[in-house]
Amino acid sequence: MAAIELDGIVRRFGDTTAVAEVSLTTERNEFLVLLGPSGCGKTTLLRMIAGLLEPSEGRILVDGQDVTTLPPRERDLAMVFQNYALYPHLTVERNLGFGLSVRKTGKQEIRRRVEEVAELLDLGHLLRRRPKELSGGQRQRVALGRAMVREPRAFLMDEPLSNLDAKLRAGTRTRLISLHRRLDTTFVYVTHDQIDAMTMATKVAVLNQGRIEQFGTPVEIYDEPASAFVAGFMGAPPMNLLPAELGAGYDDEVVVRAPGVEVALPLRAGADPGIRDVLLGVRPEHLVPVPADHDGPVLRGRVDIVENLGNEEIAQIEIGDLRVNVRGSRPIRLGPGDITTLAVRPEHIHLFARQSGRRLSWESAPVPALVS
Ligand code: ATP
């Protein structure tokens, strides 16, 4: 239900600034993922939303109500922890109902809600067991169920899938997506795993050193990363980033030069003409092996390693001192030692200012010529 607003949130621990001014607003029923590498401040931010930690500055609003100084139990938000935190001596049924009995909810009502949640999470056959008799995935579901019986305004989750193996992770993601749809509730989900963000989020906030690098839908973040940091964080393998220089071309175009590549791009008016040093970004799936005489932007290099992922292959190509990844359906038709020419469509080229890392916009109109 809840819409969450973070307004200028800062959190310091002594000399460390864990969260350095974060502002964002979610819609109601958003599945918000806070994504970023270790130490970027995600958990600190989530703990402040939960009320487990006070911000040094800023305000937190839930459905327009300022909850910044309210204790956790008065916020009506449920936190699901990474390490499950189940009571080991209680059965699954009592673990699920515990929070309600503490709140003096009637027995009938507790039974009704526990049964409903057990049904939703497929825990009905496990109600008599204790946590040690459950698998990691089952424990994770009980932890989630314990939060759900309270029917909170929002669920706050800190890496809830991190203890699960790859197959269970995938299954649990699907379950969370459908739960989010059925419960009509806001989820705030902390992870360093970009696949969690791509698959489940309606909105992603990518965090770097306590700041939001980008806030948008998973598609916006993947297709138009706002910075080289975001580009290098999203995707597996992530976007290839090659140091390049902008030089003057014909008419309105600029020429991007990097080892093994030279591409002419028409820059949109307003792009900062002062910037010379850039990073040229291309996603691995946008590099396509072509014949050597291909007409269009190309990179040339030597194939080093080819990894087989079953349905796809990933080839690592050496271009001078640089390495790029190419991803394609198997067989990708590249072998170690091959000299290869890789085409990229101009609209799949991203440019970032090398110094600030910020995205440079340019028009993706068809490019007349290119040289390799
Ligand atoms: P991870 O994915 O590793 O859990 P995170 O993105 O959740 O990382 P936080 O746990 O929020 O990161 O920590 C952000 C920064 O704040 C880190 O530099 C961390 O060392 C620091 N920090 C967090 N809690 C405290 C604390 N209680 N005292 C001092 N520094 C802290």
Inter-residue contact 63 to 3 (CB < 8 Å) = yes
pLDDT at residue 162 is higher than 80: no
Q: Which helix (H) or strand (E) holds 245?
A: strand 240-248
- Ligand 1 neighbour 211 (Cβ under 6 A): no
pLDDT at residue 364 is higher than 60: no
Pocket mutation for ligand 1, best pick of 13, 35, 38, 192 (most atoms within 8 Å of C-beta): 13
Give 269 Cα–ligand 1 centroid separation in angstroms.
Answer: 42
Does 208 lie in the same domain as 92?
A: yes
371 lies in some domain: no
Classify 333 in phi/psi space as left (phi over 0), alpha (psi -120 to 50) or beta. left
**Three-state DSSP class for residue 9:** strand
Q: Which residues form the domain of 356?
A: 238-360
One-letter amino acid of 68: T
Does 242 lie in the same domain as 260?
A: yes
Domain end marker among 207, 229, 251: 229
Domain end marker among 205, 229, 253: 229
Provide DSSP, 210-236. TEEEEEE-HHHHHHS-SBHHHHHHSTT
Output the residue whose Cα is nearest ligand 1's atom 14: 41
What's 284's domain CATH number? 2.40.50.140
pLDDT at residue 66 is higher than 50: yes
Domain end marker among 190, 210, 229: 229
Q: What is the pLDDT of residue 170?
A: 84
Output the residue whose Cα is nearest ligand 1's atom 2: 38
368 lies in some domain: no
For residues 368 and 267, give the distance between their C-alpha atoms in angstroms, rounded to a whole number: 13
Rounded mean pLDDT, 190-215:
95
Q: What is the pLDDT of residue 296?
A: 74
pTM > 0.75: yes
Q: What is the pLDDT of residue 371?
A: 39
For residues 275 and 258, give the distance between their C-alpha atoms in angstroms, rounded to a whole number: 15
- Ligand 1 neighbour 39 (Cβ under 6 A): yes
Task: Enumerate residues 6+ apart whose C-beta is below 8 A from 166.
Answer: none
What's 12's domain CATH number? 3.40.50.300
pLDDT at residue 320 is higher than 50: yes
pLDDT at residue 196 is higher than 60: yes
Q: Give tens-digit pLDDT for 349-358.
A: 898 999 999 9
For residues 22 and 34, give the distance between their C-alpha atoms in angstroms, rounded to a whole number: 11
Residues, the chain, total? 372
Structure confidence at residue 212 as a pLDDT band (50, 70, 90): very high
Retrieve residue 32's tokens.
């918000």
Q: What is the pLDDT of residue 264?
A: 66
Does 70 lie in the same domain as 8?
A: yes
Cross-strand pairs, 208: 211
The residue to which tokens 């790859």 are assigned: 166
Does 145 lie in the same domain as 98?
A: yes
For residue 328, CA distances in Å to 23, 222, 237, 281, 306 come to: 39, 18, 12, 17, 11
| Number of structural domains the chain divides into | 2
